[in-house]
Amino acid sequence: MLEKLNNLDSRWMYLALVIVLVIPIIKPIGMSISVNKDLTQRMYDFIDSLPPGSLIMFDLASNSSSDTEITPMIYAVMEHMYQKGHKLLVAGQWSSGLAFWSPKIDERAREYGWVYGVDYVNIGYKAGGTSTWRAMGQDFWKGAMEVDINGTPFSELPIMQNIRKLDDKTIDCIVIFESGSPGMETWITYFPTIPLCKGSVAAEISSSVRYIPTGQLKGLIPGMRGAAEYEKLVNRPGIATQLMDAQSMSHLLVVALIALGNIAYFGTKRKMARGR
């Protein structure tokens, strides 16, 4: 038995890894996950504290390469907004991000029964960088060229009638989903009075957490695990929960294989010593 373990074909280990990765994705196990009180919980609590009908702006400052981490965050926050009756303004500092996630947001909005132009609106990508955003701060319509992502005039969209400036009297919270620059620095620098939350890919977490104690960030969804935590808070497990299940199972498999390898090694070594 010990000899078989020592000489086990590595292909069996790869097969076992594939199995433990695939099963939780097909059928989630629902392994227990704790919520980060200093990051994810703070963001959930802040959005939860906003009165029904509040306007939340999404800044899609990332691209399709961050799909695995960012998409579950967007869905989880949208679920929270749906539960609380908030309204959504979609924008983005990255044109690629808007092109990729706008259809996904539309699909989820239809599921909620949101009416475009009433419950949510997408103004699309506006070129010009910070100068354009600052212009929106003075006159949102003119700064945003007075049309949405589809070319529809703001005057034809009921939700836009109350969005005249990009300030804290109009926007109750900005949620930026970021994987690089330009990102949250735009809001911290030029719009410091608007409450800011963030969904961050894992690589950006360390550069973001320092803004939590200062209050410049009200909360943070840290990577895939944070997305799974937010899914737990809104009581709607999604792909992040499934992927965290798969990750946990793979870790358990690695631990088990290391344990078996050590048992086989030391057992064989002891057997050889006895045979001398």
What band does 65 get if pLDDT is binned at 50, 70 and 90?
Answer: confident
Listed range (141-155, 163-177, 234-248) with the worst mean pLDDT: 234-248
Task: Please check whether residue 220 is in contact with residue 208, taking contact to mean a CB–CB distance below 8 angstroms.
Answer: yes
pLDDT in tens, 2-59: 566 666 666 766 666 666 666 666 666 666 688 999 999 999 999 999 999 999 999 9
Question: CA–CA distance from 136 to each of 129, 132, 180 (Å)?
Answer: 11, 6, 22
Half-sphere exposure of 31 (CA within 13 A, CB side): 17
**pTM (2 d.p.):** 0.82
**CATH label, 40-236, candidates 3.40.50, 3.90.660, 3.30.70, 3.30.750:** 3.40.50
Answer with the residue of higher pLDDT: 254 or 155.
Answer: 155
Instruction: Give the chain's mean pLDDT.
Output: 87
CA atoms of 58 and 73, how far apart (whole Å)? 11
**pLDDT category of residue 169 using cuts at 50, 70 and 90:** very high
Q: Where are the domains of the chain?
A: 2-26+245-274, 40-236
At 267, is the pLDDT very low, low, confident or very high (cuts 50, 70, 90)? low
